[in-house]
Each structure stands twice: as structure tokens, then as C-alpha cells.
Structure 1
Amino acid sequence: MKLNEDVEIIKNIGPARANHLRRLGIYTVGDLIEHFPREYEDRSIITPIAQMEEGGIYTICGICGNIKTSGFRQRIVTRMMVKDDTGEAELIWFNQPYLKDAFIKGEEYYFTGRAEPKNKYPVILSPDYEKKREHQLNSARIVPIYPLTYKITQKLLRGLIRDAIDYAFSDIEEYFPEEILSSYVLMDRREAIENIHFPSDEKMFFSARRRLAFDELFTLQLSLMLMKGKIKRSRSDVSIKNTDTSEFILPFELTSAQKRVMEEIKKDLEGPCAMYRLIQGDVGSGKTAVATLSCYMAINNGYQAVLMAPTEVLAAQHFNSINALFSKLGIETVLLSGSLKKREKEETLLKIENNQAQMIIGTHALIQERVNYHSLGLVITDEQHRFGVKQRSALARKGKAPHVLVMSATPIPRSLALVLYGDMDVSVIDELPPGRKSVETFGVDSRYRERVYCLIKKEIERGRQAYIVCPAIEEGETLDIKSVITYAEEIKKRYLPEFSIELIHGKLKPSQKETIMDGFLKGEIDVLVATTVIEVGVNVPNATFMLIENAERFGLSQLHQLRGRVGRGSDKSYCVLISDSKSKITAQRIKAMTKTNDGFEIAELDLKLRGPGDFFGIRQHGLPELKIADIYKDKEILTEARKAALWAYDNYDKYKGLKRRIEILMPGNIDI
């Protein structure tokens, strides 16, 4: 198939040029054709020379006159006069002496550039140019602007893509069945490829873009459905008839939002199909309490419940809090993680297999082959964005269609939730427990650092604790970023010598992390200097101050997650973001953090600023990349593409072209 041939098959691409193209991810003819423009320049309007005004960018069509060069070495100036029916203009290029032989006197050419101040004639400096012919590529049309690399120019790349489309046009396959094309009024794929690169007019461009954005959003959602296996639709052998939780006493009253979500979960558990539900809630909204009650219902009906957390620190915290509640009811809770000693692990595995352990908490060690569950009824994944799709589904496959509950403290805009969780029911806990106060947030530069240390000192003297977060862990790991290790030593010696300061980061042994976190929870440590290992789930109500160094290194949602480690008690809490970055995006992020504590509002802005690829890690999931579609802007197309993907999932085996397309985009990731 021509689309799969090496890009060197295209004329004017030799080994050296092919090597340059590889920097853009272009290896095959198909890659070249799908290297889509990042923007466009409208050169379709031809301006008479006499109507050009200083400072404007124009495309003119003129007859070449005399051309001459002057100067020497690095100061060569090439000048040429052109004329049309309205007047003459002077074109000037610097250090391009070869242009003296590039034009034919008396022939018509198009020129595009900025009009400069004129003396006798209007002047255009360093204009793009193209000879007038029947079909223009770089002028007198809407012109594509591409991402470039070393030694590849816009003009060159346009020509290569034009040649590639002409070479492989007949091999561009229409993989959508007629039902989808007609239902959603989609342009043919060949026509869309042609018009996304070289649109004949604005209407054709928008039709092409809609078709290709639809393609990307459709294949992304269908791929996710195929990877997940549509767990929601499977009937379950897990029968939970008794959902009464009156005997299980929590140490606090549930909020109305928690009660509403519990009713939704009870309805799912009592139904004939396996529950597949996402619980979204901002940091501190009480998702763990809802999860614990759900586990109790499963256990009370004779099943085992499993809670998988992304880190050992968080898993240990869940174990401590849930075990304290369940042990009073005679429910045995065990913790399974990679750091257990061999004997402890063997004992834990045996308890799980013989049903002695009814509540199992752990990390991804829970999905290892050696773990055999006796009667798995409920699977809960905490901080789901830390796990790949395959890890989550592997845990669910440990039982016979168990109920599945997924928790996320990373608020996700509805448009994005449609993509990631299109086949799940979604519950939102949109209410914080009584007494919770918003965290007062400030953005400053490094000149204020010592003043911030004084504020930390005052909080500690009041009996409170503080976090200091840095993005790197070793000197030299990333240039210009505070090192956690040397930074912690500096804090101890210079700024807060009278207080207890400890350091925690991802390279410590699990036992060391657990000891440090336990000391911080007990109030034995005043300041915890940390990396993002404390980003999720860590719950120390006495911590009221957070300082985040090099705030520009974190995404907006990540900053919000970090801030969520304070403000978990009834005392006023503070978060200070330090950054010397001059970036506009950094300024927008910090401003948003100071204006709102609403995680969903922050998530919307984060999606807008960063784009969806960064937001949920398309590469991490191994999912098709979004080159054209914008989840934030293309919400309407997204909704239509989801409906089409749901239909295609149910009719998948009927359409070979569609299957081939998914196999190309997702090699080895889907069992088809």
C-alpha cells in the first residue's frame, strides 16, 4: 500500500531530507499526508500595487523587471522592480544572491510580504514568491502553514505534501460505513485530506476540518470502548441485595451530595448488570467515605472489596483509616504492596485466597498474577488518572464481572469526561463537608521567598505544619529548578533551624516514605519538603501552609491537587506559588489559582490552556493522537462522534475498513 511506503519514494526526498522529516515524525507517505497544517494564511486576495498601505501584509501579482545585486560577503542586497496595471513596487532580499537567476524578466509572479515605508515606490522586504501558473501552491489561495524542522521550509513542505497526495490519493481509504457518512453529513476522506492541506475555498476547508476532527474524536472514543471491553454492559453474578448501612457508623455526617451519590451506587449494586461508575469530586469532598460505605455493602453481602491506590503512601493511608472502622465490625482488612517482606506477602496472599481478608487495599501489586481473590464483588480505583486503562481492567478481570467504582479528585470538564468515560455513569460530589474553608492563595516571585519563610515560621509557632513542594529531586536533574535535596538542607540550616524538617521524594524506599508520612501525621515533623509524591490523597488536617517552588513547572490541575493537601481542617490555610517565569500561560495559571478554589472551573481553564493531549496523557494510554480536533472547541463534534462510536462498537465486526483503521492506530493495544 502506497501510504505505508518509505517517504523517500516521493520525488525530491533523498536520504538527507528524509532524515530531517523524521524529526517531525514523518517516516512514511501516510505520515507526510497526515502532517496537518497548524494554521493558514489567506493569500487569495490579490492587492493592486497602488492600494498597498504601509505595515500591511499583501499578495500582489506583478511582471518582473530588472534585477540587480550589490554589496559583498554577508551584506548582499538583491533588488527587483515589479509592476502591474496600477503601478510599480521594489522588492528587496538580503543575503540571497541566488535570487538573481530565480526570475524570468517579463513573466508574472505572485509576491507576498509586508509593505514598508516608500520613497518613490512601495517596498516589500523579503517577500515569498511563486511563478503564476494554472494551479498555485503558495499564492493566490488559502495557504497552509506547517510545523517545520531543520532545513525544511514552508514552500518545500507544501510541494512535498502535494506530491505525496498526488502519488497516494487512490490509496486513501474511506473507512467509515455509509451509515455514519450520511447520518452525520461527512465529507469523503480523500476530499477532506485534499482540502485540509489545499482548500479550494473557506467552505471546503471547514467541511474538511469537521470531517477530520470527527475522525479523530470517533477513533479515540471507539478505541477506548474496545480497550475497556464495555464492562458496563456485562451482566454480573455479584448479587448485592442488602444495601442497608445503618449498622456502620461513620465519625461524621454525610453531606447531601454524598448521600445522593450513595443512592446512585445502591441502585447500581442492586441491578442485574455490573456497576461501572465514576465518582468525581474536588479535593476533600469525601469520596473515600462513599467508597468505604460501598465496600461495606459488598462485604456485608459476602463478597470481597478491593481498593487500588497509585502510591504506597496513599494505600497505607487508606488502610489505616478504613481498618480503624472495619476492625470494630470484625472485618479483616489487609494491605498488599510491593514493599512487603516475602513472609508478610505470602500470608496476605493466603488470606485473600481463602476469604479471611474481606477488605483488600494496595497498589498495582493487586493485579499481579499470583493474587487470587476468593469472591471479588467490588473493585475501586482511587485517583484513576494515575493508572492506564489496562491496569484498571486487569483488576476487574480478577473477578466474575465485579462492580467497578472509579474515583477521581482531578475534576474533569464534561467534554473531556465524554471521551475518557463515555461508557460510564458519572456521579459528582459537588459539596465540601461543613467547616471546610477555602485556601487563600498568592502568587509571588523569588524576591518574596524569605518573607514566605517568616509566614511558615508563624504558622508552626501556632502549632501548625507546612509543606514545601519542589519539582526536581537531584541537583542538575533539570536546569534552574530548585533541588529538593539541597533545598531541604538549606531550609534546615539557614531559614528554619529551630524546627523539625524532613524530606520525602519518589526515590526513597517505601518504608522510609511511610515512616516520614507517619511522623508528619503525628505532628512530629513541622515542615515536609516534598516532590509531587504528596500530590494525591495525603490527609494531614493540621497542615495549613503550602509553598510551591517553581510553580511554572506544574500544570494548573496539578497545582490545584497540591493545594488540596492543605485546608483539610477547620483552620485558615494558605498556599503561596513562587515563580520568576515571564510566560503568559504561567501568569494565567497563577491568576486562576488566586481567584478560585473550584476544581471544575480550574479544570476547564487547564484544558483550554494546555490542550487535551497533556491533560489526560494520550501517549500514556497508547491512544490515537489528536492532530486537528480540539476537545475544548469541538464539543458539538465530540458529542456526535460519541454517538457514532457507540453505534460502531455494536456493529464493529461488520466493517472491515473500520477494523483496519483501528488496527493501524492501535497496534497491539486492542484484542480484536
Structure 2
Amino acid sequence: MYRLLQGDVGCGKTVVALYALLHTVAAGYQGVLMAPTEVLAEQHFLGISRLVSQLGVRVDLLTGALGKKEREQCLELLKSGTTDIMIGTHALLEEEVVFANLGLVIIDEQHRFGVQQRDILLSKAAAPDVLIMTATPIPRSLTLTVYGDLDLSVIDELPPGRKRVKSYFMPSSEKNRVYRFVRKELEAGRQAYVVCPLIEESDHLDVEAAVLRFQELKREFSDFNVALIHGRLKLQEKEGVMNAFRRGDVDLLVATSVIEVGIDVSNASIIVIEGVERFGLAQLHQLRGRVGRGSQESFCVLIGNPQTEEARERIKILVQNHDGFQVAEKDLALRGPGELLGKRQHGYSDFRVVDVFRDTSQFLKIKNIVKNLKSPGEELWEEIYFRFPSLVYGLKI
């Protein structure tokens, strides 16, 4: 298996992953799930451990936050085969991480990992099954599904009662108007996120910094509880802030993109993203998914001053499209698919004739022909040539 599982935030991809992991363990192999942040990896670990506690399945967690002694013990259990399911972050990519019998690799939120990082994890087994999960496939992965390297599964449903998040763009000059609306939401008993692209001020980038913005908003919303979370905080500090937000003790959470994945607070009804032109489409769609998790109406407000046509187009795509797969297709058209056999994840394709957008229906037909051929080779090219002569030259190039 080499499969991309696409489904919008909150649709249940993790449950599918757990079933795959349990099938792997039942067959006598180990499974691994790699997540991009310690917050998300820990959330997966706690949730999965709770669900399999009665099954006699051993689940362990490996992150950079582990002490030396804990880490050594964790690696020994993994190498000896005692660990059935390993959950972790980029720490899984290190050379000393050795599996006894790895059968399944699951990569969560795969747009947060580079091509080489994914390959390192895959190289820790002879021929593992691979499940990649994402709410917004990066263009390169979406293109690979067209060319047949990745199979595709889509979960196109959301939990009952889930409402679509209303998305708007406002120029920076309208910022005060936006925060008047945020105040109304807080007064109604809701919670809000404010996302900034940097932790501290930079001399090179004229964007809001989370630390400075936190201090400003703390003064502006002095009658509410305002908190700050970013990637440089220790794991315990991050968890403390997030638990306070989940309990409702924090009304307004100022953050960097560390909240992009793994945060589920049903009472949060609005997310404001400042310096929006500094974020990619996949990130923006993930951030938007932090709200709209309850039954109330929810909002995503994008604030910025986009200077380029591409930045303006990205914002337009997000405002007009709510489905993650549609966002990815538009992103693919905007950025290009990159190298199919290389490491570049965007830019012009190395194909000169074939067009991944125009010829999608033809690719699917060709894929079916290949599956039905008993002896691929010259017969394959003859079959394709007679049916689709205009495509053969593009494919051979």
C-alpha cells in the first residue's frame, strides 16, 4: 500500500489510521505514526493508548522532549519488538531509531514534512505499507495520485451538525473593525484565536510578531483572559496553555502556526490570521479548521496587505473554497507540481507535453489499461499508442 487518505479536518482520519495499525499488529508487525508537532504526537499517543488499553497492545511515544534515560529505554523496547505501535515526531528519523519488524508507516499532516524526511522513515523497513494522511495534500502529492504512484482514498463527510466556516479577507487598515467583532464573540461566551507568522520582531519582515501582538491584545482585551502559545515554549507550558483554553479559562489565544494541527476546542468560534500573505494555502486551510468544531456559526478572518498577484490569488482561493481537496487542486494549479521523481515540491513540471489538469481523465483510463495488461512492456506502449497517440510522446519524454 502507498495511499493518500484525504479528508477535511475533524472527519475521522485518525480512527482509520488506528484500524490500520491494529491490523498490522495482529499480523505480527510493528506500526509507526509520525506527527509534525509534539502537541499532536502526544495527543495521538494519549488517545490511541486509551482506546487499545484493553487489547494488550503496547504503544510508546518518542519525541525530542524525552530525557536521556527515557529515550534509551524507549529505543530498546522498539528494537526488541516489545513496542507494537510507536508514535512520534521528527525524532523518529534519527539513525539510532531501529524497528524490529516495521510493517506500516503512517505520516500525519504530511504537508509538514519534506520529501527526504518521509523517505528516511520509509527506509527503516524493507517494504512497508504507507498511509499518508492530510486535510490538504501538497501539490506534489496530489500530482503523484494522478500518475499512479499514490492511490487515493477520500473521506467526504463531516460529523453531524458541523457548520461551514465563513471566511473573509480584510486589509490591515480594517483591523479595528475586525477586533470589534472579536469582542462581540467573546462577550457572547465564545473563544477566539489570533495567529501571527513570527514569534518575535524581525528586521527583515514587516509583519506582526506574536509576542508583541500578545502584549497589545492583553491591554486591548484587559477584561478577558488572554494567553500566548508558540513553538519555543516547553511542552509542559504549551500543554498548560492549551488545557486552560480547552477548559474555557482562556478567552483569547494569541499563537503562531503551532496551533495549525491537533487542536480541538468546540467553543472557539473565530480565528483571526494576521500577515496572511506570509502563510501557504495548506497552512491557512489547517488554521481555519481550528474553528467550526461546535454547533455555533464560526468565522475565519484573514488580515494583511498582499503585494503580489500570487498572494492575492491564494487569499481568494481560501475565501471561495471550503473543501480541502478543492483548495489543494487550486494550489496545484497556482504553484505547479514540482519534480515527480525529485525533491522539489512545487514549480513547473518536468513533462513537456502532458498537462496534469487537462489530461486527468486520460490518466485514469491509462491506469486501468496498465492494470489489465498481463505482460507490461512493449505491449503496454502499443496499447496506449493506439488508444491515446497524442499522449505517448509526452509520457516518454
TM-score normalised by L of structure 1: 0.50
Contact 1:282/1:411 (CA < 8 Å) preserved in 2? Answer: no
- Change in Cα spacing, 1:633 to 1:474, as seen in structure 2 (3 Å) is same
1:543 alignment partner AA? A
SS of residue paired to 1:612: coil
Query: 2:271 is matched with which residue?
Result: 546
Shift of 1:562: 1.4
Aligned counterpart in structure 1 of residue 45 of structure 2, from 319, 327, 331: 319
Please give the per-residue CA displacement for 1:448-471, whole angstroms capped at 9, x wherever unaligned.
322322332333344432111112
Query: 2:380 is matched with which residue?
Result: none
Aligned counterpart in structure 2 of residue 601 of structure 1, from 318, 326, 334: 326
2:296 alignment partner AA? D
2:200 alignment partner AA? E
2:169 alignment partner AA? G
Distance in 1 between the 2:197 and 2:293 partners?
23
1:529 alignment partner AA? V
SS of residue paired to 2:322: coil
Please give the per-residue CA displacement for 1:372-402, whole angstroms capped at 9, x wherever unaligned.
3233232111122222333323323323433
Contact 1:444/1:578 (CA < 8 Å) preserved in 2? Answer: yes
SS of residue paired to 2:53: helix
2:156 alignment partner AA? D
Query: 2:107 is matched with which residue?
Result: 381
Larger Rg: 1
Query: 1:568 is matched with which residue?
Result: 293
SS of residue paired to 1:514: helix
Query: 1:521 is matched with which residue?
Result: 246
| Count of residues in Structure 1 that have an aligned counterpart in Structure 2 | 371
Q: What does 1:132-531 align with in structure 2 at a 5 Å threshold?
A: 275-411=1-137, 416-418=142-144, 422-493=148-219, 495-531=220-256
SS of residue paired to 2:245: helix
- Change in Cα spacing, 1:478 to 1:511, as seen in structure 2 (3 Å) is farther
Distance in 2 between the 1:427 and 1:587 partners?
31
Contact 1:415/1:631 (CA < 8 Å) preserved in 2? Answer: no
Distance in 2 between the 1:630 and 1:481 partners?
40
- Change in Cα spacing, 1:609 to 1:276, as seen in structure 2 (3 Å) is closer
Please give the per-residue CA displacement for 1:87-117, whole angstroms capped at 9, x wherever unaligned.
xxxxxxxxxxxxxxxxxxxxxxxxxxxxxxx
Distance in 2 between the 1:579 and 1:316 partners?
33
1:279 alignment partner AA? L
TM-score normalised by L of structure 2: 0.81
Contact 1:482/1:550 (CA < 8 Å) preserved in 2? Answer: yes
Distance in 1 between the 2:15 and 2:153 partners?
14
SS of residue paired to 1:468: strand
Contact 2:191/2:251 (CA < 8 Å) preserved in 1? Answer: yes
Distance in 2 between the 1:579 and 1:522 partners?
31
Contact 2:143/2:337 (CA < 8 Å) preserved in 1? Answer: no
Please give the per-residue CA displacement for 1:475-500, whole angstroms capped at 9, x wherever unaligned.
1254321111111111111x211222
Shift of 1:506: 3.0
Shift of 1:334: 1.4
Contact 1:413/1:600 (CA < 8 Å) preserved in 2? Answer: no
Distance in 1 between the 2:340 and 2:211 partners?
30
2:273 alignment partner AA? I
- Change in Cα spacing, 1:471 to 1:626, as seen in structure 2 (3 Å) is farther
- Change in Cα spacing, 1:387 to 1:553, as seen in structure 2 (3 Å) is closer
SS of residue paired to 1:568: coil
- Change in Cα spacing, 1:308 to 1:477, as seen in structure 2 (3 Å) is farther
1:428 alignment partner AA? V
Contact 2:139/2:337 (CA < 8 Å) preserved in 1? Answer: no
Contact 1:551/1:579 (CA < 8 Å) preserved in 2? Answer: yes
- Change in Cα spacing, 1:510 to 1:628, as seen in structure 2 (3 Å) is farther
1:375 alignment partner AA? N
2:32 alignment partner AA? V
- Change in Cα spacing, 1:477 to 1:507, as seen in structure 2 (3 Å) is farther
Shift of 1:638: 9.6
1:599 alignment partner AA? G
Shift of 1:315: 0.9
Shift of 1:507: 3.2
1:291 alignment partner AA? A
Distance in 2 between the 1:575 and 1:616 partners?
34
- Change in Cα spacing, 1:415 to 1:381, as seen in structure 2 (3 Å) is closer
- Which is bigger in relative contact order (C-alpha 8 A, separation at least 6)? 2
- Change in Cα spacing, 1:519 to 1:356, as seen in structure 2 (3 Å) is farther
2:321 alignment partner AA? T
- Change in Cα spacing, 1:481 to 1:382, as seen in structure 2 (3 Å) is same
Contact 2:166/2:300 (CA < 8 Å) preserved in 1? Answer: yes
Deviating more after overlay: 322-331 vs 408-417: 408-417
Distance in 2 between the 1:618 and 1:452 partners?
43
Query: 1:235 is matched with which residue?
Result: none
Deviating more after overlay: 358-367 vs 477-486: 477-486
Please give the per-residue CA displacement for 1:35-59, whole angstroms capped at 9, x wherever unaligned.
xxxxxxxxxxxxxxxxxxxxxxxxx
1:479 alignment partner AA? L
Distance in 2 between the 1:489 and 1:617 partners?
47
Please give the per-residue CA displacement for 1:267-295, whole angstroms capped at 9, x wherever unaligned.
xxxxxxxx222111222222111111211
- Change in Cα spacing, 1:457 to 1:332, as seen in structure 2 (3 Å) is farther
Contact 1:555/1:606 (CA < 8 Å) preserved in 2? Answer: no
